[in-house]
Copies of this chain bind each other. A is one copy, B any other.
Amino acid sequence: MFKHLSTTLIISTLLLASSSSIADEKKTYRWRLAETWPKDFPVFGDTVKSMAQRVKEMSNGRLIISIDSKNKHKAPLGIFDMVRAGQYQMGHSASYYWKGKDLKTMFFTTRPFGMTATEQYAWFYYGGGMELMQEVYGPYGLLSFPGGNTGNQMGGWFRKEIKSVDDLQGLKMRIPGFAGEVISKLGASPVNIPAGELYTALERNTIDALEWVGPSLDLRMGFQKVAPFYYTGWHEPATELQFLVNEKAFNTLPNDLQAILTIAMRASAYDMYAQSMHENAINLEKIAKEHPEIQIKTFPASIMLKLQQANNDLIEQFKQQDPLTKAIIESQERYQEITRPWTQISDQTYLEISQ
């Protein structure tokens, strides 16, 4: 078909085709991601690295995401602001860190006596959770995605055994956020202390107890050396981390790279839940073998009941704040109400009968 065209026309057509192909399919997007965690932080940091690596492989190098850890950007709790301002195109953090800016962000991580990880993933993707989360983040020019689940977090390390509500009176405990407010209703004194100072604070009696994550990340902090009572969890049943993306930056990506980024975040977030199971399991075995003095305990029913009541009271107060907060809480309550009976009939019953 070229034979009727002049040589000049052929050349310019080919040059055009070639240059347009370069623009659409050869352009390399270089993004920067800021994470709340220190460099090479286990599990959380692995999730970010695997996401970036998958994006690179799937895009054939067309989208390259470089990762800045807190050692570099020095603003672990500044991720929201930096991504909003476009200083970074992406971040990895946790939604409940932004509750001081917008209380509604708090409900997309986990909450005391809330859903398990599987219930919560179902809520995000099949129960309207993603849509509600985007209603909260949209006005800030941000997109928010699940960023990996720790599974049920342990209730914390205590120097002394907790036998009744009396033992909580005046107890100084590092337990931040919503859970801190709940436990303060029972007489404890929640305090917040930077991660790097936690061990010393516990060792020197500045605090009597603290919660961190679970066996997966706690042993490396050394808490087992100074606080022999390790309590099971109630306050963070399914802590979901967060990928934050600047919406304008996302919109500059071609459709295929948007899809690649979205699916890479989704797969790596789910992976973190499986990796947390693995790390918790091997470190729990390590506790049993290397730290036989550690006693794993559950708070007595009398304490659990009071914590649950205090939690319910706080939730009712939050519902009064504004219609969207109420809609989020009620969506979660309704979803937990329909998923929990299935969780009980399936996994819980199975775990009981197959012991």
Which positions in A face B, CB cutoff 8 Å? Answer: 7, 10-11, 14-15, 17-18, 21, 25, 54, 57-60, 113, 116-119, 121-122, 124-127, 151-152, 154, 214-215, 232-234, 237, 254-256, 259-260, 263-264, 266-267, 270-271, 273-275, 277-278, 280-282, 284-285, 288, 296, 298-299, 301, 304, 308, 338-339, 341-355
CA distance A160 to B200 in the complex (A): 63
Q: B116 touching A234 by the CB < 8 A rule?
A: no
Known A-B contacts A14-B15, A353-B301; A281 and B58 likewise in contact (beta carbons under 8 Å): no
Known A-B contacts A274-B125, A280-B342; A350 and B237 likewise in contact (beta carbons under 8 Å): yes
CA distance A17 to B17 in the complex (A): 11
Q: A348 touching B348 by the CB < 8 A rule?
A: yes
Q: A119 touching B277 by the CB < 8 A rule?
A: yes
- Set of chain B residues within 8 Å of A117, measured between Cβ atoms: 118
A selection of 22 A-B contacts at a CB cut-off of 8 Å is: A17-B18, A21-B21, A25-B25, A57-B259, A58-B58, A58-B263, A116-B350, A116-B351, A117-B118, A122-B274, A125-B275, A126-B275, A126-B278, A152-B347, A267-B267, A278-B339, A280-B342, A288-B341, A298-B353, A301-B353, A347-B348, A348-B351
- Set of chain B residues within 8 Å of A60, measured between Cβ atoms: 254-256
Q: B256 touching A57 by the CB < 8 A rule?
A: yes
Q: A271 touching B125 by the CB < 8 A rule?
A: yes
7 more A-B contacts (CB under 8 A) besides A232-B345, A237-B350, A296-B345? Answer: A14-B14, A21-B21, A57-B259, A117-B118, A260-B260, A308-B354, A344-B355
CA distance A348 to B355 in the complex (A): 12
- Set of chain B residues within 8 Å of A259, measured between Cβ atoms: 54, 57-58
Closest to A114 in B: B354
Known A-B contacts A11-B7, A11-B14, A15-B14; A281 and B122 likewise in contact (beta carbons under 8 Å): yes
CA distance A116 to B232 in the complex (A): 20
CA distance A260 to B125 in the complex (A): 21
- Set of chain B residues within 8 Å of A58, measured between Cβ atoms: 58, 256, 259-260, 263
Q: B152 touching A113 by the CB < 8 A rule?
A: no
Q: B122 touching A350 by the CB < 8 A rule?
A: no
Stoichiometry, copies per complex = 2
CA distance A242 to B206 in the complex (A): 53
Q: B342 touching A275 by the CB < 8 A rule?
A: no
Least CB distance, A255 to chain B, in whole angstroms: 7
Q: A57 touching B255 by the CB < 8 A rule?
A: yes
- Set of chain B residues within 8 Å of A308, measured between Cβ atoms: 354
CA distance A296 to B341 in the complex (A): 11
- Set of chain B residues within 8 Å of A25, measured between Cβ atoms: 25
Q: Of B14, B122, B350, which one neighbours A18 at CB under 8 angstroms? A: B14
Q: B232 touching A152 by the CB < 8 A rule?
A: no
- Set of chain B residues within 8 Å of A233, measured between Cβ atoms: 346, 349-350
CA distance A7 to B355 in the complex (A): 80
Least CB distance, A5 to chain B, in whole angstroms: 11
Q: In this complex, which of A7, A341, A350, A352 has the most chain B Cβ atoms within 10 angstroms of its Cβ?
A: A350
Q: B353 touching A281 by the CB < 8 A rule?
A: no
Q: B232 touching A284 by the CB < 8 A rule?
A: no
Least CB distance, A322 to chain B, in whole angstroms: 27
Closest to A127 in B: B278
Closest to A22 in B: B21
Closest to A300 in B: B353
